Amino acid sequence: MGNVSCQYRDNTWSGDASSVGYSIEDIQVTNGNRCSFTIAVNANPGTTEVVGGPDDQSILYSALPSTLTSSFAITPPADSSGLDYEYDYDIWLTTAQAATNANWNNDLELMIWTYVNGQTPLGSVVATLSDGSKVWFAGNNVTGTVSVVLPRNETSATINIAGLISQLKALGYVTTADNGILDVEYGMEIPYGGGRNFEVNGFSVTSG
């Protein structure tokens, strides 16, 4: 068992960012085995397009470990009225061979939404897990997106990622071919943040 080092990224991926007034101000960043960051995020009022996802990233590039957990603690804006965001994990699964070769082609996106304010996952609800989490599915189970939305908003928790993947494999939304993992990311998608502060007070990944 061991912690996996992580690093902050502003992770803006869309060329539409400037057209919707999207900007990120890095206020505090800590990298290492336990990461944290505080940012202020703005965009034009009424923006709904997701153009980036500031996050902490832990690279694994390995076969899927039998034990994989992650802990997080967050502080959302005190006043979230009118804002549009969610805090989430973004986990990329593929074959063990592709993962160990750092090959990002033909990977499956697994998201775990831990705190939601005004956002909706891609696709539609296809299952409910034993803890009440809703499973959303979009695309296909090779290169699509599987989103697990926790039954309630959480500001701190420990997620059993390996156990969750096992449940999704039993349901058929993750295939047995996905026996490798590229990385574990945790952060936010914030189409409209109103210039307010978003905090990840702590994030860590343990693999074994």
| Residue 2 confidence (pLDDT) | 85
Q: What percent of the chain has pLDDT over 90?
A: 97
Could you tell me the residue ranges of all domains in the chain? 2-207
Instruction: Write the pLDDT tens digit of every residue in 51-97.
Output: 999 999 999 999 999 999 999 999 999 999 999 999 999 999 999 99
List, in order, residues 6 or more apart from 205 with CB less than 8 Å away: 3, 4, 6, 58, 60, 68, 69, 70, 184
Please give the CATH architecture assigned to the domain spanning 2-207: Sandwich (2.60)
DSSP E strands in 95-192: the ranges are 108-117, 124-128, 134-138, 145-149, 156-160, 180-192
List, in order, residues 6 or more apart from 189 with CB less than 8 Å away: 50, 52, 53, 85, 86, 88, 119
| Residue 173 confidence (pLDDT) | 95
> Average pLDDT over the chain, rounded to whole?
96
Q: Are 22 and 10 in contact (CB under 8 A)?
A: no
Q: Does residue 142 carry a pLDDT above 90?
A: no
Q: What percent of the chain has pLDDT over 70?
A: 100
| Cα–Cα–Cα angle for 125, 99, 70, rounded to 5 degrees | 60
Instruction: Write the pLDDT tens digit of every residue in 93-115.
Output: 999 999 999 999 999 999 999 99
